[in-house]
């Protein structure tokens, strides 16, 4: 079917998106009219939702959207249905992907389409994706705790952050001194250094926000939480404080980056809006949570690799396109808002397993052997770090070990080993189509400091 240059198709993959996906679709339809676009079509690909969100979409929007239902949850790669020709519909000139937990600011699609059309060699344009919530920085200070065998400077554990009556621990902005998420028999937590900055999420435009913070310490310690002091330990203690700082927007994604060990990251993640993220820029890869893709780019490069299911599927497609000579741009004038962790489940058990697997598989499919070696070495180092820090050291110091992260990393790595035959075959096939050499291409990779994770 001959493409009609003035059609923009927006694809939303839904899985139990509740009210968020309705708000998402409404924000897309509110973009009309889009300058340079004669027709805006919305395709919702539903992954066997059971929460009534599909029925709510059909009731709210009727024939103004097309809903395609899967019988099973096919992951984010279900977007392929909307990224390929659809029977009965004319082919578009552009395809936009929007996460179901995101909403578009006015003019977002117009700015992205304009960016793509500025140069026929541009295959994709990424917006400035902001978190839906704003953040207020909170300083937490306490003496260093005696945690035998742990090499980190640790003071207290952050066990809960509640604002607006909702638990927000998984949504905090981890500033200086905030260690990565961990989990034990009592639930999720983060260790804080003797001085730590926690970005507390608050509702946009909220007046005089407060937060209830629950801390845990192994021994009695005085903790300064903002302007208040609280005695903590042994055990946990909660304190409710007024958040007096000025709320600020934080970036969720300003395009994506890939490190030289094939690990992906959100460019500008949790940074405040400003230099260098207020200027257009070239990207090595784009983020599937919000992007406009040129139809010719998809026809040349293909769509998501179905076996990747969720995580790194966008990195793989973008890497493949870069190897074919396509370029990508970041456009800060295009803005969208994203609810942190609502659709992807970052930090969940599934995330650790699939993220570990797919990073290694994508490295084999696309990277030089140097990148592949670094990726697999780093995966083994993470396994060793989890064994040492969470199993061996606690046992040697009389504390209860945690094997959970170790088990998840092992499962992800073993799954990647099982996928190696297919990944190696794809590597040979993709290399045969590449027009840019790996050494030239990998100039765009970002050096990664340090090895392993705790």
- Give CA–CA dist 321/309, Å, rounded: 19
Tokens 């998984």 belong to 170
Q: What are phi and psi of 261, to 5 degrees?
A: -115, 20
- Give CA–CA dist 449/155, Å, rounded: 25
For residues 195-207, one letter each, b for 16 or more C-beta atoms within 10 angstroms of the residue's C-beta and e for the rest, the string is ebbbbbbbeeeee
Residue-level pLDDT at 15:
95
Residue-level pLDDT at 269:
92
Which pLDDT tens digit goes with each residue over 211-226?
999 999 999 999 999 9
Q: Do 155 and 269 belong to one domain?
A: no
| Residue 439, token pair as written in the block | 């050494």
Domain-terminating residue out of 298, 317, 338 = 338
Looking at residue 175, which CATH number applies to its domain?
A: 2.60.40
Strand 39-47 versus strand 7-14 pairing type? parallel
Residue-level pLDDT at 206:
82
Residue-level pLDDT at 398:
84
Q: Do 271 and 124 belong to one domain?
A: yes
Average pLDDT over residues 248-252: 94
Domain-terminating residue out of 338, 370, 389 = 338
**Residue 8: pLDDT band with limits 50, 70, 90:** very high
450 within some domain: no
Q: Do 125 and 140 belong to one domain?
A: no
360 within some domain: yes
Q: Do 108 and 11 belong to one domain?
A: yes
Which pLDDT tens digit goes with each residue over 390-421?
899 888 888 888 899 999 999 999 999 999 99
Average pLDDT over residues 234-262: 94
Which pLDDT tens digit goes with each residue over 63-96?
999 999 999 999 999 999 999 999 989 999 999 9
By C-alpha distance, which of 56, 41, 49 is closest to 13?
49
Q: Do 266 and 218 belong to one domain?
A: no
Average pLDDT over residues 36-48: 96
Which pLDDT tens digit goes with each residue over 378-389?
999 999 999 998
- Asked if residues 283 and 256 have their Cβ atoms less than 8 Å apart, the reply is yes
Q: Is the per-residue pLDDT at 5 higher than 90?
A: no
The alpha carbons of the chain give a radius of gyration, in whole angstroms, of: 23
Average pLDDT over residues 35-62: 96
Q: Do 117 and 258 belong to one domain?
A: yes
Q: What are phi and psi of 171, to 5 degrees?
A: -110, 5
Average pLDDT over residues 424-428: 98
Looking at residue 126, which CATH number applies to its domain?
A: 3.90.550.10
161 within some domain: yes
Q: Do 126 and 267 belong to one domain?
A: yes
The CB-side HSE value for 170 (13 A sphere, CA atoms) comes to 14
Q: What is the mean pLDDT of the chain?
A: 93
Q: Do 301 and 363 belong to one domain?
A: no
Q: Name the strand (E) or helix (H) holding 246.
A: none
Q: How many separate domains does the chain show?
A: 3
Higher pLDDT: 432 or 345? It is 432
Q: Do 12 and 127 belong to one domain?
A: yes
Q: Is the per-residue pLDDT at 284 higher than 90?
A: yes
Give Cα separations from 272 to 161, 227, 267 (angstroms).
21, 24, 12
CB 235: neighbour CB atoms within 10 A? 11
Q: Do 15 and 127 belong to one domain?
A: yes
- Asked if residues 126 and 142 have their Cβ atoms less than 8 Å apart, the reply is no
76 within some domain: yes
- Give CA–CA dist 34/36, Å, rounded: 6
Find the domain containing 184 and state its range.
134-203+207-242
Which pLDDT tens digit goes with each residue over 111-126?
999 999 999 999 999 9
Q: Name the strand (E) or helix (H) holding 118.
A: none
**Residue 453: pLDDT band with limits 50, 70, 90:** very low
Residue-level pLDDT at 451:
57
265 within some domain: yes
pTM for this entry:
0.91
171 within some domain: yes
Which pLDDT tens digit goes with each residue over 339-388?
876 555 555 788 999 999 999 999 999 999 999 999 999 999 999 999 99
Lowest mean pLDDT among 139-143, 179-183, 277-281: 179-183
- Give CA–CA dist 7/417, Å, rounded: 42
Q: Is the per-residue pLDDT at 288 higher than 70?
A: yes
Residue-level pLDDT at 454:
41
- Asked if residues 333 and 353 have their Cβ atoms less than 8 Å apart, the reply is no
Residue-level pLDDT at 205:
81
Q: Is the per-residue pLDDT at 278 higher than 80?
A: yes
247 within some domain: no
- Give CA–CA dist 342/305, Å, rounded: 23
- Asked if residues 283 and 268 have their Cβ atoms less than 8 Å apart, the reply is no
Which residues are CB-neighbours of 432 under 8 A, at least 6 positions away? Answer: none
41 within some domain: yes
Label residue 324 exposed, middle or buried (CB < 10 Å: 0-12, 13-18, 19+). middle
Average pLDDT over residues 288-316: 97
Q: Do 220 and 295 belong to one domain?
A: no
Q: Do 13 and 126 belong to one domain?
A: yes
The separation between CA 178 and the C-alpha centre of its own chain, rounded to angstroms, equals 19
Which pLDDT tens digit goes with each residue over 166-200?
999 999 999 999 998 888 888 899 999 999 999 99
The separation between CA 378 and the C-alpha centre of its own chain, rounded to angstroms, equals 20
- Give CA–CA dist 367/449, Å, rounded: 19
| Residue 29, token pair as written in the block | 């339809």
**Residue 252: pLDDT band with limits 50, 70, 90:** very high
């Amino acid at each position: 079917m001959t493409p009609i240059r003035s059609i923009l198709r927006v694809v939303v993959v839904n899985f139990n998106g509740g009210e968020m996906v309705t708000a998402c679709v409404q924000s897309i339809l509110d973009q009309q009219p889009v300058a340079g676009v004669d027709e805006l079509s919305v395709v919702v690909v539903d992954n066997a939702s059971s929460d009534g969100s599909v029925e709510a979409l059909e009731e709210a929007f009727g024939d103004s959207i097309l809903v395609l239902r899967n019988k099973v949850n096919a992951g984010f790669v279900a977007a392929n249905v909307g990224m390929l020709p659809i029977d009965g519909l004319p082919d578009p000139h552009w395809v936009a992907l929007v996460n179901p937990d995101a909403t578009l600011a006015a003019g977002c699609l117009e700015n992205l389409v304009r960016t793509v059309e500025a140069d026929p060699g541009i295959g994709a344009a990424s917006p400035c994706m902001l978190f839906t919530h704003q953040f207020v920085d909170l300083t937490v200070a306490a003496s260093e705790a005696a945690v035998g065998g742990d090499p980190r400077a640790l003071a207290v554990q952050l066990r809960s952050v509640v604002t607006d009556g909702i638990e927000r621990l998984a949504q905090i902005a981890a500033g200086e001194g905030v260690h990565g998420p961990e989990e034990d028999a009592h639930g999720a937590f983060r260790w804080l250094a003797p001085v730590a900055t926690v970005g507390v999420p608050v509702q946009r435009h909220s007046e005089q926000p407060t937060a209830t913070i629950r801390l845990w310490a192994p021994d009695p310690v005085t903790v300064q939480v903002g302007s208040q002091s609280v005695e903590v330990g042994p055990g946990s203690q909660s304190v409710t404080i007024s958040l007096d700082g000025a709320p600020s927007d934080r970036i969720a994604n300003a395009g994506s980056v890939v490190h030289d060990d094939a690990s992906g990251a959100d460019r500008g993640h949790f940074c405040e809006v400003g230099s260098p993220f207020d200027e257009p820029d070239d990207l090595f890869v784009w983020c599937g949570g919000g992007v406009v893709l040129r139809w010719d780019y998809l026809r040349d490069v293909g769509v998501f690799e179905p076996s990747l299911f969720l995580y790194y599927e966008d990195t793989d497609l973008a890497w493949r396109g870069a190897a074919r000579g396509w370029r990508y741009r970041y456009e800060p004038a295009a803005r969208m808002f994203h609810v942190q962790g609502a659709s992807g489940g970052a930090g969940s058990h599934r995330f650790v397993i699939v993220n570990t697997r797919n990073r290694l598989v994508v490295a084999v499919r696309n990277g030089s052997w140097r990148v592949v070696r670094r990726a697999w070495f780093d995966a083994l180092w993470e396994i060793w770090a989890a064994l040492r820090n969470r199993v061996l050291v606690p046992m040697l110091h009389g504390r209860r070990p945690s094997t959970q992260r170790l088990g998840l990393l092992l499962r992800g790595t073993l799954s990647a080993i099982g996928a190696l035959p297919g990944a190696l075959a794809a590597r040979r096939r993709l290399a045969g189509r590449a027009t840019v050499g790996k050494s030239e291409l990998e100039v765009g990779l970002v050096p990664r400091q340090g090895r392993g994770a705790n």
